[in-house]
Amino acid sequence: MTSDTQAEQVQAAPAASVTMPIAKALNAALREAMRADDRVLLMGEDIGPLGGVFRITDGLHAEFGEHRVLDTPLAESGIIGTAIGLAMRGYRPVIEIQFDGFVYPGFDQIVSQLAKMTARHRGRVSMPIVIRIPYGGHIGAVEHHQESPEAYFAHTAGLRVVSPSTANDAHWMLRQAIESDDPVIFLEPKSKYWSKGEVLPAPAARLQGVSGMHRAVVAKPGSDVTLIGHGAMVHVLLQAALIAEGEGTSCEVVDLRSLSPIDWAPLVESAQRTGRVIVAQEAPGHVSVGSEIAATIAERAFYSLEAPVLRVSGFDTPFPPAQLEDIYLPDADRVLDAVDRSLAY
């Protein structure tokens, strides 16, 4: 990315901070990116006049037309596979997958094609493709609409995987994902789409460059226990920290933001300071992002730990029917139970 491009993008950004929900912050980011670079185009199902089932692309079809906002046939492999061809032609496609559980028909194109294409070409071909996936539970939906598939993508070399938890991050991380010359799996915490937050003007709030979206940040400082999570789980962790504070325990909440690569320094530094770490996620725990975090913190902060790193996850079962989702999904109580167990060591 050249500094000229950066300057243009800064100009296109809002001049003062604005409070808006995550959904609107994503919409604004898409609009700004499309205005800044006419090679950016959107692809997905029902993203045209309808604006997407979550309205993230609302108004973009009207502003940019059907050649920039492609309402595609209902075929995820087709969407991702043709996006690869468009990227070979010099375009920067931003794909919307309608729901987390609908990404799998496109899985081969993501894992065997998109992720490996740059290596296969020995770096001569870049794949600047963003795949936006609304993910996670808490919306009471039918099967395939509440899953957390991040581990599959974080496991795959050649992909970058990020997930914002705030409106500001949703906005700026999406801008950075679109600027990236590598494929980015952009996981949107759909249960928080209408959660409001301040979107700050660039460059004040912006972590410059593509690496910005890969930084982990401390969402709330604390001294006794470190709580690590991403996406909607960050909100659960902040709630748990508030309750714990009332009980005399100071929790530090770290927002992972990036699942591949993982920004280890803030995690290890926090673990060394508190000596106790809980990592929480909606996804099933077996061979998960949380597993990797637990293992790596054990390797890098071994002598500082007062307790083993504990994981709080969805169960290793299919996501249950909606009536049972509150039992399946880790809530503040399950996080606090882990905090208690950690403190008991």
Partner 1 sequence: MTRADARADEATEPIRLLDPDGSLVESDANAEWRELAAQLSTDDRLAMHGEMLRTRRFDIEAGHLQRQGKLGLWVPSIGQEGAQVGAAWASREQDTIFPSYREHLIALHRGVDMLQIIDIFRGAVHGGWDPLETRGMRIYSLVIATHALHSTGYAMGIRLDRACGTGDASRDEAVMAFYGDGAASQGDASEGLVFAASYDAPIVFFVQNNKWAISVPSTRQSRTPLHERARGFGLDAAWVDGNDPLASFAVTRRMLDAARQGRPGYVEADTYRMGAHTTSDDPTRYRPSEEEEAWRRRDPIARLAAHLRELGVDDAALAAQDAEATDLAADMRRRTLAAGTAASDDIFDHVYSEPHPLVLEQKRALAEFEAGFGGES
Residues annotated catalytic, as ranges: 145
The answer to the question of residue 153 lying near partner 1 (CB under 8 A) is no
The answer to the question of residue 125 lying near partner 1 (CB under 8 A) is yes
Q: What is the dihedral of CA 311, 21, 103, 160, to 10 degrees?
A: -70
- Per the CB < 8 A criterion, the answer to whether 186 and 162 are in contact is yes
* Number of residues near partner 1 (by CB under 8 A): 47
Strands 130-135 and 184-189: parallel
Orientation of helix 22-36 relative to helix 167-179, angle to 10°: 30
Give the type of residue at 48. G
Our CB check for partner 1 shows the closer of 84 and 253 to be 84
Q: Which stretch binds partner 1 (CB under 8 A): 17-25, 47-55, 68-76, 309-317?
A: 68-76
Strands 258-260 and 130-135: unpaired
The answer to the question of residue 6 lying near partner 1 (CB under 8 A) is no
The answer to the question of residue 148 lying near partner 1 (CB under 8 A) is no
Task: Pick from 19, 62, 65, 121 the residue near partner 1 by CB under 8 A.
Answer: 121
The answer to the question of residue 156 lying near partner 1 (CB under 8 A) is no
- Per the CB < 8 A criterion, the answer to whether 252 and 262 are in contact is no
The answer to the question of residue 91 lying near partner 1 (CB under 8 A) is yes
The answer to the question of residue 2 lying near partner 1 (CB under 8 A) is no
Residues 6+ apart with CB under 8 A from 65: none
The answer to the question of residue 158 lying near partner 1 (CB under 8 A) is yes
Radius of gyration of the chain (CA): 20
Task: Pick from 7, 50, 62, 88 the residue near partner 1 by CB under 8 A.
Answer: 88
Q: How many CA atoms lie within 13 A of 96 on its CB side?
A: 27
- Per the CB < 8 A criterion, the answer to whether 275 and 268 are in contact is no
Our CB check for partner 1 shows the closer of 22 and 259 to be 259
Q: Which stretch binds partner 1 (CB under 8 A): 122-130, 229-237, 302-310, 325-333?
A: 122-130
Site for partner 1 in 254-273 (CB under 8 A): 260-262
Closest approach, Cβ 212 to partner 1, in A, equals 12
- Per the CB < 8 A criterion, the answer to whether 184 and 162 are in contact is yes
Q: Which stretch binds partner 1 (CB under 8 A): 23-31, 135-143, 174-182, 330-338?
A: 174-182
Nearest CA-CA partner of 127 in 183, 43, 80? 183
The answer to the question of residue 113 lying near partner 1 (CB under 8 A) is yes
- Per the CB < 8 A criterion, the answer to whether 211 and 244 are in contact is no
Our CB check for partner 1 shows the closer of 87 and 200 to be 87
From CA 184, how far away is CA 115, in angstroms rounded?
9
Binding site for partner 1 (CB under 8 A): 41, 67, 72-73, 75, 77-78, 80-91, 105, 108-109, 112-113, 116, 118-127, 157-158, 160, 180-182, 210-211, 214, 260-262
